[in-house]
Chain A
């Protein structure tokens, strides 16, 4: 089984947003939303040691995706090839996963009322094509492929040229979008746009920590009471006085 990953070469990215436009067109992303976006970090440091980068953000298809467990209907899942997907037929639009994502890579589509995000262009992969952002990138800054293919470009870039993940000490869930840079731009991005702690909405928290145990206790207690009554009934014998 493959393990898909993406590498973005930050030394080549010119911030032209062609990837965002191609992605929006490919997947009918409504205005104001995006599956992938390009965010400038702005210049940091003191002259002449200035650093700046374009953060090409999208779903990271994490090794341990924090968005899967909060989904109440099982619409969000991780496929065998590592791609984290949303099944729109199962999604009810509760938004639990949107709050859970440390990279803000998910959005609730106001038209379909379902959650949407980058799926590494799974539809195009099935047809043997590369993701739309990769083929469109004007600076050829994006690479996509199988991380387990030792002869493939991704393996070479990640392990040979040591592309970096955007992680922090607090949030390390194994993102599979890697970044190449000459002056450690990945660290700069992690500084300016740090992955945030996965959030659980109050409803999800309330459900898993309070309602579920309470419900199980209530049903269990009822069952226990009835079991006691049943044994009592067996001991005293059934009365047939009414029939």
Chain B
């Protein structure tokens, strides 16, 4: 690339270039909040004067906030498990992006420039050097050092935490786990203090702090503080650029996306909806129970006496209790609206029939009706369908739900073989 043209520092200070992916920003702040909570609760858990390092008033205050020391410990473990789970998910799905050897060499390993940079940086902060800092990559040597330390310490903190939480191993193992947990956290805390100071207080690194909110840094900042990375970005930009796509908000893009959403994002949305349902209503999502109520209601209109005394429908038709006053009844109406709105926004609403290439729509309708009837019987026999029993029951770890789930998948895979002419 050429650097013949003089650099316009004014323009460069205005122009923002992307540094962090949104996933990293979210992980960073999740991590920050979790660390704050875990350090607070962890410090308050250590009461014995042998090991305690926070003043008694702090320990008592935090304990009072949580009600009891038992709650405090439960919270510490719960937040820790959440933290381990999130990192495990990131590690498993993102190891190619974050933990691959090339990535680690680029973002974590220290080179000769980095070592020089560390020496000069420390001296200049203490007012003992005016040498120019050597050029840095996408992360500077200080950030790399911190990352190295965190990569080394995190697994130890996680494993020792799990050992204590679940009493793994003998008493000696648990005893040493306590000590190692404390020691490794102390190491990270001393690094964390520098990290927070550099990010939040040190004036020259302010753009780095804001990049953890917006994901962007001014080009001038990259030029001055991460020169090697700036060169890489410039080299990328000088290759023929694609025509810029019209800008569209992320929300609008996701709402009008022609493709189905990636499975995990749809699953996340579904999971949060399910969680909200448990929290608000006290039961899970479902479908077949709602159908049953609609039928019972219709029956009670046609033949009230028969419906009320029938050994099955009578369960639903009881005096003083409106048959339709049930979560699933209203939820199903919402499902119809939600499904329609989603399909319509994505341009997927179309009167059509989904059928395999070897059968006609008419056959497909008959098969769908038959399948629906068999499903209806199965769902009522099991007291729930894929939504009401497998999904909702699975989330509360019901044993029956998992047995049901296995049966559904077993029949599905077996039936798929015999019905391959219908679908393939």
Do A and B touch (CB < 8 Å)?
yes
* Chain A residues close to B by CB (< 8 Å): 68-74, 87, 89-90, 92-96, 98, 108, 113-114, 201, 203-204, 206-208, 211-212, 214-216, 218-219, 221-223, 226, 228-230, 232-233, 236, 238-240, 242-243
Does A93 lie within 8 Å of B171, measured CB to CB? yes
Q: Are A72 and B46 also in contact (CB < 8 A) when A90-B73, A215-B186, A216-B53 are? A: yes
- The residue that A74 contacts in the complex, of B47, B175, B183, B194, with Cβ under 8 A, is B47
B176 contact set on A, CB distance < 8 A? 203
Cβ contact within 8 Å between A201 and B127: no
A72-B51 in contact (CB<8A) = yes
Docked complex Cα distance between A69 and B52 (Å):
10
A-side contacts of B178, CB under 8 Å: 72, 92, 94, 203, 207
Q: Which residues of A contact B86 (CB under 8 A)?
A: none
Q: Apart from A94-B178, A95-B175, A242-B204, what 5 extra A-B contacts exist at CB < 8 Å?
A: A73-B46, A114-B167, A207-B50, A218-B187, A242-B218
Q: Give the interface size bracket for B toward A.
A: 35 or more
A227 CB to closest chain B CB, in angstroms? 10
Chain B, Cβ-Cβ closest to A218 = B190
Among candidates B50, B53, B187, B224, residue contacting A70 with C-beta atoms closer than 8 Å: B50
B371 to chain A, nearest CB (A): 49
A94–B178 Cα gap in the complex (Å)? 8
For chain B, residues 37 to 81, give those with C-beta under 8 angstroms from any C-beta of chain A: 45-51, 53, 69-70, 73-74
Contact: B203 with A92, CB < 8 Å?
A: no
User: In the bound complex, do residue B167 and residue A69 qualify as a contact, i.e. CB atoms below 8 Å apart?
Assistant: no
Q: Which residues of A contact B201 (CB under 8 A)?
A: 230, 233
Contacts of A72 in B (CB 8 A): 46, 48, 51, 178
Query: A230 vs B193: C-alpha distance in the bound complex, in angstroms?
Result: 13
Pick the contact of B186: A74, A219, A223, A228 (CB < 8 A). Answer: A219
9 cross-chain pairs, A with B, having the tightest CB-CB distances, nearest first: A95-B171, A215-B186, A113-B167, A94-B175, A74-B47, A203-B175, A238-B203, A89-B70, A208-B50
Contacts of B194 in A (CB 8 A): 222, 226
B245 within 8 A of A: no
List, in ascending order, chain B residues with CB within 8 A of A238's CB. 203
A207 to B13, CA, bound (A): 50
> Of all chain B residues, which has the CB nearest A76?
B48
In angstroms, Cα B201 to Cα A238, docked, is: 11
Given contacts A93-B171, A243-B13, A211 and B179 within 8 Å (CB-CB): yes
A-B contact pairs, 6 of them (CB 8 A): A69-B48, A95-B174, A96-B175, A208-B50, A239-B204, A242-B220
Q: Which of B182, B206, B218 contacts A207 (CB 8 A)?
A: B182
Question: A95-B172, A95-B174, A96-B175 known; A215 and B182 CB under 8 Å?
Answer: yes
Complex Cα spacing A222 to B183, Å: 15
B172: chain A residues within 8 A (beta carbon):
95, 201, 203
CB pair B171–A94 under 8 Å, yes or no, is: yes
With an 8 A cutoff between CB atoms, is B125 at the interface? Answer: yes
Known contacts A95-B175, A218-B187; A232/B50 CB under 8 A: no
Residue B343 at the chain A interface, CB threshold 8 Å: no
